Structure 1
Amino acid sequence: MDNMENKHKVTVSKRVRKPSVHRRNLRIATLEGVPSTIFQVLLQGQFLTGFLLYLGASSSQIGFVLALTTLVNVAQIGVAFLIQKLPSRKWAMVTFIGLHRILWGSTGLIPFIFPKEYWVIAFIALYTTAFIANTAGGVLWSSVISDLVPARVRGRYFGIRNTVLNALGSLVMYGGGIILDRYPGGHGFLILYIVVWIFSISNVVVFFFYPDVPFEKSEEHKFLPMFKKPLKDTLFMKSTLFLAAWLLLQNLTVPLYSYVMLRLLHINYETLSLLNVSQTVFMMASFYVWGNLNAKYSNKRLLFFTLPIIALSSLMWGLLSVMPMLLVLFAAHIVFGVGVGGFNQLAFNFIIGDTPKKERPMYMATYAALTGLSSFFGPLIGGQLYEKIAHWPQWTQVYGMQLVVGTLMIALAFLLGRRILKDE
């Protein structure tokens, strides 16, 4: 009788302990996102565009820089193969993510080290190297997090995690905007970079506490057979190529919104921060809604419903011709936040949830490479187009591009998206 009671206690103890390990791992993954969010918010979006303008970059150079982060994603295919050879993913992940944080943060030292005529070139060199390191770190992190988060809670967990981190990001974004308005030019960016350096180091430290979860490796040991696995998956490739085409259109204008508002509409950083905060707040609210819907409906079906919302946000810029500027911009940012929040969350869940576990790194890399190429050419072409129409009537630069792109997105969504992003 005592033996049976002891066995029962051991069984109950195991049942209690196992979920606590999962909870601890998820807590670490959420905690890691805090310094990462602060670090990245202050170095991207409006702050990246503003810093590049401070360094003397043109619209085409800004478009090129915004596109670089996605171009290097092509290298993820090689990384996905090489990580199969690693005995441990954790320390490789820490190394590459650490390099990314250090190199990106060091762009703040450019005005102190280089002559002014080399500022933009030096930024592009450091930024490119940082995101090459991030390519490897991103594959490793996605692989680890997909194993860390149980499939049954994945939709809700990422919904909650994204909500918390985007709430934090909104506060940081607004605070950063106030600093740049109060301390214009190099002084303001120096303050931002001091904060960046503190939290980039903190972020790397938290990664040391990530668990080294077991890694189910591919059954293929050679590169070509492993590379061909996702290419032979017809449903995966059709969806991925469609999403790549969509991102090409979307990125013709969206990454350059900050350029339009800062340079053409002469909006100050505080107002720009409020616009982005409103976008983020509604994105956060949408994470919870999309996460709950994802428990009932497939990733692909919900992905389709995000497309018209994103297209509508682009078309809304046309209202600048008849309505007050700030009212239109706030409305367009809010609608975009709802759409792109769902798109990003569901696209990520599609890659880590609807793909074979053992082959997932190569599937992720293939998706990242194809969408990365299209996302690279989007801002690059967009930046060039803005330069070519610089002497056209101002409305063509302020909202004309958005109207054309929004119309094309609507056509793509309903002509192809409805057929491709459907339940099989």
Structure 2
Amino acid sequence: MATPLLLRLGADANALGLYTALVSATTPPLQLAAAMLLDRYRQKRLHIMWAFAAVSRAMWLGILAVLLSNKGGLWAVMAFLYMSNALGVFAGLAWTDLMADLVEPQRRGRMFALRNTIHGFINIAGLSAAKAIYDGLGYPEGYVLAIGIGTVLMLAAVPLLYMYGDPAKPRGIGLGVRGALSALKNREVLRDSAALSLWSFSVNIVGGIWNYHMYTAFHADESWFTTLNLVGGVVGTLANPPWGGFYDRFGPRVTFLVSGLGIVAVPALFPFLPSLAGQSALQVYSTTLWTGFNLASFNYAVSYSGHYRHVYIAVYNISPSIAAALGTMAGVQMYNAFGVSAFFVSAIGRLLALAVLYRVASARGATYEELKVASHLYPLYLAGRQVAQVTYIEFVYALRVFYAAMLTSFLMAALAALYVVLLRLLGG
């Protein structure tokens, strides 16, 4: 609900485009800095992930303070959102590098799909609660309550990141600035990054105008955004398992192609669906396909060789981030000049970029094995049981922390009220 909040604070298409482009444009130097930091302390990557995740999530306390104080407004909220994203780059790279060592390549598609599915069910519960809050209270009360509860739960869950563990604890390679830049010479990484850059540019043509057009042209309100988020959460959860098996069977190229061909049509359909029902149907269609594409993109990235993987992943993300920034700004200008034509330009660009991506992508990390139920069902059951246990522990822990925080707040308020009464009695 970050974009609807910015819209409520008065952001127009130019402001949204500028913010989106700034996030994308500053990602490359942040990725390089994260790669160098991770290389220097790679044996402590679990601690890096934990620390940066904590500070990144704490930025939402600043957003909450802005809403409660009515000081700073749009630009202050944008600044806190940007800092949260920037710090998340460091946590994200450490997390991605760690995940690659936790699951063997032969079953990554299904294992990460299973993880995403279980987390998806928890996400659905959160989205359902958020919908009730936003729809019932509106702006600004709904945002204050939802962000407050969400921030408490996010911070309470940070210590649980240690439960991942780090069985490998690899050493760094003594990476400096020159070493990081030398990774740009890797042809495979450059080809992958260039192909994804074309795709990222085309996709992000609508990145800064999608919600803005929905808000201004379709007269969408919080109930629209919460409904679409909930629909996306449910569909993404259900779509993960089949896409995981599909990726393990056919590899990244076919997964990119099948999901990408459907994604091409999404921006072309968007302007013709001005109702919530139409946008919900588009959300079902779009989320189903994006689930497969994003799963393939993630597994494709973590399949680089382990020794330089953290460097390659950073480089792999640099050019697409720059392209995303350029695409966002180009899309805003096209929208201001030609209106909804920008959505059709994005569709055409996606089709051309997909052709390049399909040609360039290798079969790296794919097994092309036939699915054998007998050989995979029991490992999936064990992994699923472990993830379910961890998820249950996380949920109970977060619930206890939330209860303790609410009880403490109530007791503090009661104590303050008691002091006020005593002072009045003494003064009277």
Per the TM superposition, whether the score is higher than 0.5 is: yes
Partner residue of 2:62? Answer: 106
Partner residue of 1:30? Answer: none
Amino acid at match of 1:93: M
Partner residue of 2:40? Answer: 85
- Identify which of 293, 312, 317 aligns with 1:368: 317
- Partner Cα separation in structure 2 for residue 131 and residue 306 of structure 1: 27
Amino acid at match of 1:77: L
Q: Deviations over 1:390-409 (max 9, x none)?
A: xx7xxx44xx3322211222
Query: Structure 1 pair 381/168, CA: closer, same or farther in 2 (3 Å)?
Result: farther
Report deviation, 1:208.
Answer: 3.5
1:270 correspondence with 2:223: yes
Query: Structure 1 pair 226/268, CA: closer, same or farther in 2 (3 Å)?
Result: closer
Query: Structure 1 pair 132/327, CA: closer, same or farther in 2 (3 Å)?
Result: closer
- Partner Cα separation in structure 2 for residue 319 and residue 253 of structure 1: 15
Query: Structure 1 pair 166/257, CA: closer, same or farther in 2 (3 Å)?
Result: farther
Please say if residues 40 and 174 of structure 2, whose CA atoms lie closer than 8 Å, have aligned partners that are also in contact: no
Report deviation, 1:333.
Answer: 1.7
- Partner Cα separation in structure 1 for residue 326 and residue 91 of structure 2: 23
Give the TM-score normalised by structure 1: 0.78
- Partner Cα separation in structure 2 for residue 66 and residue 180 of structure 1: 24
Please say if residues 144 and 213 of structure 1, whose CA atoms lie closer than 8 Å, have aligned partners that are also in contact: no
Please say if residues 20 and 328 of structure 2, whose CA atoms lie closer than 8 Å, have aligned partners that are also in contact: yes
Query: Structure 1 pair 70/199, CA: closer, same or farther in 2 (3 Å)?
Result: farther
Report deviation, 1:114.
Answer: 5.4
Q: Deviations over 1:318-360 (max 9, x none)?
A: 544xxx734532332222112211111111100101x110100
Percent identity, aligned pairs only, is 19
Unpaired runs of 5+ in structure 2?
A: 365-428
Please say if residues 56 and 85 of structure 2, whose CA atoms lie closer than 8 Å, have aligned partners that are also in contact: yes
Partner residue of 1:417? Answer: 357
Partner residue of 2:270? Answer: 317
Partner residue of 1:161? Answer: 115
Amino acid at match of 1:330: S
Amino acid at match of 1:364: I
Partner residue of 1:39? Answer: none
Partner residue of 2:104? Answer: 150
- Partner Cα separation in structure 2 for residue 311 and residue 232 of structure 1: 31
Residue range with higher mean Cα deviation, 98-107 or 247-256 = 247-256
- Partner Cα separation in structure 1 for residue 121 and residue 226 of structure 2: 13
Report deviation, 1:255.
Answer: 5.3
Partner residue of 1:25? Answer: none
- Partner Cα separation in structure 1 for residue 8 and residue 148 of structure 2: 17
Amino acid at match of 2:51: T
Partner residue of 1:138? Answer: 92
Query: Structure 1 pair 290/255, CA: closer, same or farther in 2 (3 Å)?
Result: farther
- Partner Cα separation in structure 1 for residue 69 and residue 6 of structure 2: 16
Moved over 6 A (4+): none
Report deviation, 1:226.
Answer: 4.4
- Partner Cα separation in structure 2 for residue 140 and residue 263 of structure 1: 39
Partner residue of 2:53? Answer: 97
Matched residue count: 362
SS at match of 1:88: helix
SS at match of 2:269: helix
Amino acid at match of 1:243: L
Query: Structure 1 pair 368/418, CA: closer, same or farther in 2 (3 Å)?
Result: closer
Report deviation, 1:217.
Answer: 3.4
RMSD value, Cα: 2.4
Please say if residues 67 and 376 of structure 1, whose CA atoms lie closer than 8 Å, have aligned partners that are also in contact: yes
SS at match of 2:138: coil
Partner residue of 2:211? Answer: 258
Report deviation, 1:291.
Answer: 0.6
- Partner Cα separation in structure 1 for residue 4 and residue 175 of structure 2: 46
Partner residue of 1:41? Answer: none
- Partner Cα separation in structure 2 for residue 199 and residue 68 of structure 1: 28
- Identify which of 174, 179, 182 aligns with 1:225: 179
Unpaired runs of 5+ in structure 1?
A: 1-46
Report deviation, 1:149.
Answer: 2.4
- Partner Cα separation in structure 2 for residue 147 and residue 199 of structure 1: 28
1:235 correspondence with 2:188: yes
- Identify which of 58, 62, 79 aligns with 1:125: 79
Partner residue of 2:31? Answer: 76
- Identify which of 347, 350, 355 aligns with 2:297: 347
- Partner Cα separation in structure 2 for residue 143 and residue 209 of structure 1: 16
Please say if residues 127 and 230 of structure 2, whose CA atoms lie closer than 8 Å, have aligned partners that are also in contact: yes
- Identify which of 406, 410, 419 aligns with 2:347: 406
Partner residue of 1:335? Answer: 285
Q: Deviations over 1:45-96 (max 9, x none)?
A: xx11221122222222122333444333211112212222215222222111
Query: Structure 1 pair 221/316, CA: closer, same or farther in 2 (3 Å)?
Result: closer
Please say if residues 178 and 270 of structure 1, whose CA atoms lie closer than 8 Å, have aligned partners that are also in contact: no
